[in-house]
Chains A and B, each alone.
Chain A
Amino acid sequence: MSTRLSSGGRLVNKDKPVEFQFNGKRLKGYEGDTLASALLANDQMLVGRSFKYHRPRGIVASGAEEPNALVNLGQGGKFEPNQRVTTTELFDGLYATSQNHWPTLEFDIGAINTYLARFLPAGFYYKMFMFPRPFWKHVYEPFIRQSAGLGKAPKDRDADTYEHFYAFYDVVVIGGGIAGLTAALEAGKSGARVLVMEQTAAWGGRAVVDGVEIDGQAAEEWVAASVEALQAMENVEIRTRLMGAGVYDHGYLLAYERLRDHLPEEKGPRHRLWRIRTKQIVTATGAIERPISFAGNDLPGVMLASAVRDYVVNWGVSIGDRTVVVTNNDDAYRTAIVLKEAGLDVPAIIDARQGGAGALMDEARGLGIRVETGKAIAKVKGKGRVTGVAICAQAGQGGVLDEIACDCVAMSGGWSPVVHLWSHCGGKLKWDDAQAMFRPDPAKAPKGASGEAFVITAGIANGHLRSADALVDAFEAGRSAAKAAGGKVKAGKAPVAADADEATLEAIWLMPQGASIKLRMKAWLDFQNDVKVSDVQLAAREGFESVEHAKRYTTLGMATDQGKLSNINGLAILSDALDQPIPQTGTTTFRPPYTPISMGAIAGEARDELFQPIRRTPMYQWHEANGADFEPVGHWRRPYAFVRSGESVHDAVNREVMNTREKLGLLDASTLGKLIVKGPDAGKFLDMMYTNMMSTLPVGKCRYGLMCNENGFLSDDGVVARINEDTWLCHTTTGGADRIHAWMEDWLQCEWWDWKVYVANVTEQYAQVAVVGPNARKVLEKIGGMDVSKEAIPFMQWADGELGGIKARVYRISFSGELSYEIAVPASQGRAFWDMLLEAGEEFGVMPYGTECLHIMRAEKGFIMIGDETDGTVIPQDLNLNWAISKKKEDYLGKRAQERSHMADPNRWKLVGLETLDGSVLPDGAYAVAPGLNSNGQRNTIGRVTSTYHSPTLNKGIAMGLVHNGPDRMGDVIEFRKVDGTTVKARIVDQVFYDKDGEKQNV
């Protein structure tokens, strides 16, 4: 059983006991524990179930690489699934539950999958869920959804807050081990601005656990002194619980800080995402120990040798009383020695190498530990927990030589440098055959804007596994980074570490070498996703030879740990199956983040009101207080309708239409884009921008204009007013203002830069109100001021003046077909003007109306709407707008495109009005069907609905649509397909349904 030792545990404070819960059990730990060490101290070895076979899973590692021990943390608004217990610091009241099992962790029905394993090989999903096809929807998909996913998604709103943090440095050092500290000290001494970060709560990395001696001091003392020295440097920032998450282009670095995960009661953001720009990055990210593939290596109690050592040294926790160490390198001997020195039993060290280890082997033997060289583990014995191991020869096929009772197996398959951050932005790797590892290739480093490398790797992360070499390397890396970032490097010398001589590792990818299929089916590579040696071999046999294909076929390395333990072992097995060297197989791509980061940190402050800025018109507050049902239009919020009590939204819309047609309506049109185009060449410029001729527009008049892109497709429309000889005011659609402004700037800056034109977007400078309906003139006359008579401002003209004491520009334009004035006043006066109109309009039956009323009225008049009648494939000619296309102009944007054969084709779908025979409203976007099928076996189509409404004015459904040869087929009846498969008949009619002669607007 695993338990807390009476002594030891450099990180735990035994004066500060902490209580926590796991699956409802109340357990005790100490301040400084991780959830992993606290669970182990309480003999909670079983912590979860694997993804596919629901096999019992115990803790394997002691850090970020942990694949198994994922739990649900917290409750309610603090609930978060898939949290690694090895990186979760213990705090009082911590609440954790295990996941991926039913009904309980100890008794999981899904575990039956393990007996079905031979029927669930790699690629099972792809083979099984193909046929019969109807099964997919009703059987397979529900089944897969039911069993997919480890944790459960949170149901409650996240109760915590998060933030983003922007920072700039010369040098950022990632990793707070002895290499990172050495590099940071060198960079700091150069005067460069330095940030050094450590993902855990403690400095020093592995050296402090392994008892390395540096410059004659114990590592622990050296680390403390170094941290103190860094803290004293004003140009250096040092942070724990800050993880380098991703390296991106041009020195962009994302780092993830866990501020309150261990202090849940304190105020402030829980996580912080650092968005850093730095000149140089030093990755001193260390290495991760590899498991060894032998039968039963996934049983709880089998653990990485380094993790077993960490738990004893850092937290005073022993995994078992009797630990068998199995290894292919010298480092694991340290675990055996540490255990022995802690008073625990080590029945044997199984070393796969014939020659065994170097000096550490002698030390182990000196302590009385039995060392078996050239041996392997044939299989781990036990059910749900290790009870012993069967020993065989590594060279053989698994014939058992001996059995040893034990309750822990500490394995070490060698070390893989953490090359993730090096690789994120294009750093390449090289294969080191002697150490059996991929390490960074400094000749192919990530390059920055200048073409020079901006990432330097240091220490163990650079493949220097021995502390002495690592420190020399880190010393140089720190100096190189400082120099490249412009720091001044003075003479100095690297710290000197003393560590034991080691014999070379032997690459062991499978144990024993000739393991039978029965053993290989129990030899796990990926513990979380249940990928075994046999699965990767099957993938290779079935032709998935690329490592990227094999990964996806077997799901190796696709779990939340992203294969930190499994990738190298897996691709070694794949290489062996393909009979090719490992570097030829290569690695899969390393992608950020290094370990999962919270969604909250990614969102930062961007939630609720701050998620996206909302643009509000000067009258917004009135709308809000008067029943506005808002809809988003670009970043604006516009009232869809003003709903009164007792009314449905539909009722409100109908009321607004009828009232505007019969009496008086007000529309807040402030969101309409307003661009001033000014200059000696403004007329010439607008002639290029619009399909119509704008240069000939007389001062004081308005003209409706169309804008196309260079493909000839309609992009925007609006009324243009000529203000004076060299100034035009162009109205754009609400959503188009910024886009059209940018479009104009593009042409002025990049094509006709010698034309003298200036464009200003004055959209927000004005509040604009459309005063619409038969009583429109009456209300303006009542307010008083400028002359608004037909003679003073005829239809399609504008005038400047004053209304009710407010400076106003009045346009006689109409998008409703009614008598209509669009009145622009300074934004600051918008609300006052709106209130004035409402008050004065009371006797004339004034009611404000929203965007849906606007849409219905324009559709009744057959006016097009950008985004309804147009979708990026429609040219003005399709909408019968030839009258708005100048024949005289040699050129305008889109003209050449509209001359293309398929644009000039008489067979294009064209705009018509549509009326259902039964008066119903056509479904939006419905297609008109024709006899026969197309080449895809779908019904042929001859048209589609672009706008469709119930017209309260006409009390029936009206629609517009694009129909093949539509304008030539007036009176024909065509059929539209509804979603339910039935059809509805509609007659092709004129698109103008109301007041065809325009008498109402021109009064």
Chain B
Amino acid sequence: MLTLKCPYCGVHADETELHPGSEAHLKRYGPGSSDDEFEGYLFMRENPKGVHFERWRHVYGCGKWFLAARDTNTLEVFGTYSAQTTEPPQEIKEAITAKRPGWSWREFQ
């Protein structure tokens, strides 16, 4: 059972307090998008053994969604950050690079 730090309220929360929300940094495609774009948005997900970015909600806490960068294999957590961003902040990227040099995930590295 994971523990993650909610970046909003600062609480180090147990997984029973949190709710997972699948992959982070998805770009929404709506009307006017191609079938391929829409399919990618709706269905195509990363499933890495290693660095991954996820959405979590502090559902039995402050109620805020936040994002987490972690290793799906070792369960190491590189950091959590605001959901109100389209890409991982620089310090998160650096934290990952320090532990996993040469990592990449979708368009980020």
Contact = CB atoms under 8 A, between A and B. Distances in A.
Interface of A: 248-252, 277, 426, 447-451, 710-711, 742, 745-746, 749-751, 753, 890-891, 895-897, 899-900
B3 A250 contact: yes
Contacts of B103: none
A746 B14 CA distance: 20
B6 to A, nearest CB: 13
B11 interface: no
B9 interface: no
Contact of B31 (A250, A251, A890): A890
B65 interface: yes
A749 B64 contact: yes
A897 B28 contact: no
Contacts of A251: 3
A897 B38 contact: yes
Contacts of B21: 746
Given A250-B3, A749-B64, A896 B77 contact: no
A749 B77 contact: no
A742 B76 contact: no
B18 interface: no
A745 B19 CA distance: 13
A746 B83 CA distance: 10
Contact of A899 (B31, B41, B65): B31
Contacts of B38: 896-897, 900
A277 B63 contact: no
B57 interface: yes
Contacts of B63: 745
A710 B40 CA distance: 13
B84 A249 contact: no
- Which of B3, B57, B75 has the most A CB atoms < 10 Å from its CB? B75
Given A742-B57, A746-B21, A891-B30, A250 B2 contact: yes
A99 B33 CA distance: 67
Nearest to B29: A896
A751 B59 contact: no
Nearest to B5: A449
A581 B3 CA distance: 39
B99 interface: yes
Contacts of A248: 1
Given A742-B59, A745-B63, A249 B2 contact: yes
A742 B99 CA distance: 34
A896 B32 CA distance: 8
Interface in B14-63: 14-15, 21, 28-33, 35, 38, 41-42, 55, 57, 59, 63
Please name the 4 residue pairs, one residue from A and one from B, whose CB atoms are nearest each other, closest first.
A451-B76, A753-B84, A449-B77, A749-B65
15 contacts: A249-B1, A249-B75, A250-B2, A250-B3, A251-B3, A277-B3, A448-B75, A449-B2, A710-B42, A746-B21, A749-B65, A749-B84, A751-B28, A753-B83, A896-B32
Nearest to B99: A451
A895 B30 contact: yes
A251 B2 CA distance: 9
A250 B65 CA distance: 21
A896 B30 contact: yes
A896 B33 CA distance: 8
A41 to B, nearest CB: 44
Contact of B65 (A426, A449, A746, A895): A746
A518 B64 CA distance: 68
Contacts of A710: 41-42
A659 B83 CA distance: 53
Interface residues of B, number: 30
B74 interface: yes
Contacts of B28: 751
B55 A449 contact: no
Contacts of B99: 451
A449 B80 CA distance: 12
B36 to A, nearest CB: 12
Contacts of A891: 30-31
Given A448-B75, A449-B76, A749-B84, A277 B65 contact: no
Nearest to B74: A447
A799 to B, nearest CB: 32
Nearest to A252: B1
A2 B17 CA distance: 55
Nearest to B21: A746
Nearest to A738: B59
Nearest to A747: B28
B76 A750 contact: no
B83 to A, nearest CB: 5
A447 B76 contact: yes
B31 A896 contact: yes
Contact of B83 (A252, A750, A899): A750
Nearest to B24: A750
Contacts of B71: 451
Nearest to B38: A896
A750 to B, nearest CB: 5
Contacts of B42: 710-711, 897
A895 B28 CA distance: 12
Contacts of B83: 749-750, 753
A277 B14 contact: yes
Interface string B64-102: 110000010011110000011000000000000001000
Contact of B75 (A250, A277, A742): A250
Nearest to B63: A745
B55 A447 contact: no
A895 B33 CA distance: 11
Contacts of A451: 71, 74, 76, 99
B80 to A, nearest CB: 11
A904 to B, nearest CB: 13
Nearest to B83: A750
Nearest to B19: A742
B30 A449 contact: no
A895 B84 contact: no
Given A277-B14, A891-B30, 16 more contacts: A249-B2, A251-B3, A426-B75, A447-B75, A449-B77, A450-B76, A450-B77, A710-B41, A745-B65, A746-B57, A750-B84, A751-B28, A753-B83, A897-B38, A897-B42, A900-B35
A742 B57 CA distance: 10
Contacts of A895: 30-31
B66 to A, nearest CB: 9
A251 B63 CA distance: 25
B103 to A, nearest CB: 13
A946 B83 CA distance: 39
- Which of A449, A710, A742, A890 has the most B CB atoms < 10 Å from its CB? A449
A672 B71 CA distance: 41
Contacts of A745: 57, 63, 65
Nearest to A749: B65
A447 B74 CA distance: 6
A326 B39 CA distance: 68
A711 B39 CA distance: 10
A230 B30 CA distance: 65
Contacts of B2: 249-250, 449
B94 to A, nearest CB: 15
B89 to A, nearest CB: 15
A679 to B, nearest CB: 16
A746 B63 CA distance: 10
Nearest to A254: B1
Contacts of B35: 900
A750 B85 CA distance: 8
Contacts of A900: 35, 38
Contacts of B32: 896
Nearest to A709: B42
Contacts of B75: 249-250, 426, 447-449
Contacts of B31: 890-891, 895-896, 899
A711 B57 CA distance: 22
A277 B12 CA distance: 12
A750 B65 contact: yes
B60 to A, nearest CB: 12
A711 B2 CA distance: 30
